[in-house]
Amino acid sequence: MELTITWRFVVGIDISKQYLDCYLLDRKTGQGWDRKVLNAKEGFDQLGRWLNERQVECTQTILISEHTGRYGEHLLRWTTSQEWAHAVVKTTALEKVTPDHHRKDDRYDARELADYGARFSDQLTLSKAPKPAIGQLKRLQAERRKMVDRRAALKIKLTEADIHDADMDQLTSMWTQQINLLSQHIKRLEESMDELISQDEALTARHQMIRTAPGIGPVIGRFWLSLFTGEEHLNARKISSRFGFAPHGRRSGSSIKSPDRSTGHGNSEMRKLMHQAARSVANHKPHYREYYKRKLEEGKHELLVINNIINKLIRLYCAMWNNQSEYDPNHIQNMKEQWKKSA
Task: Say how many C-beta atoms besides its own lie within 10 A of residue 211's C-beta.
Answer: 17
Nearest partner of 208 among 320, 336, 124, judged by Cα? 320
CATH 3.30.420.10 residue ranges in the chain? 9-123
What's the pLDDT score for residue 2?
A: 40
Q: What is the pLDDT of residue 4?
A: 46
- Amino acid 213 reads A
CATH superfamily of this structure's domain 9-123: Ribonuclease H-like superfamily/Ribonuclease H (3.30.420.10)
Rounded CA-CA distance 151/145 in Å is 10
Buried b (16+ CB within 10 A) or exposed e, 324-337: eeebeeeeeeeeee
pLDDT of residue 3: 41
pLDDT of residue 161: 83
Query: Contact, 282 vs 309, CB < 8 A?
Result: yes
Quick one: which of 97, 103, 102 has its CA closest to 119? 97
Distance of alpha carbon 235 from alpha carbon 226, whole angstroms = 17
C-alpha span between 197 and 193 (Å, rounded): 6
Q: Which residues pair with 84 in a beta bridge?
A: none
- Work out the angle between the directed axes of helices 132-159 and 218-228 (0-180°, nearest 10): 130
Q: Which residue(s) pair with 85 in the sheet?
A: 62
Per-residue DSSP letters for 265-332?
-S-HHHHHHHHHHHHHHHHH-HHHHHHHHHHHHTT--HHHHHHHHHHHHHHHHHHHHHHT----TTHH
What is the distance between the alpha carbons of residues 93 and 74, in angstroms, rounded to a whole number?
Answer: 21
Distance CA 264, CA 244 (A): 5
Amino acid at 34: D
Residue whose C-alpha is closest to residue 12's, from 34, 42, 28:
34
Q: What is the pLDDT of residue 1?
A: 31
Q: Cβ(24)–Cβ(114) under 8 Å?
A: yes
In DSSP notation, 145-203 reads HHHHHHHHHHHHHHHTGGG-SS--HHHHHHHHHHHHHHHHHHHHHHHHHHHHHHT-HHH
Give residues with Cβ within 8 angstroms of 301, minimum separation 6: none
pLDDT means over runs of 10, the chain (343 residues): 66 94 94 95 95 92 91 93 92 73 74 91 86 87 93 92 80 94 96 93 92 93 89 91 77 52 66 94 93 95 95 94 90 70 61
At residue 73's C-alpha, the angle toward residues 72 and 77, to 5°, is 120
Backbone φ and ψ of 78, nearest 5°: -70, -45
pLDDT at 341: 66
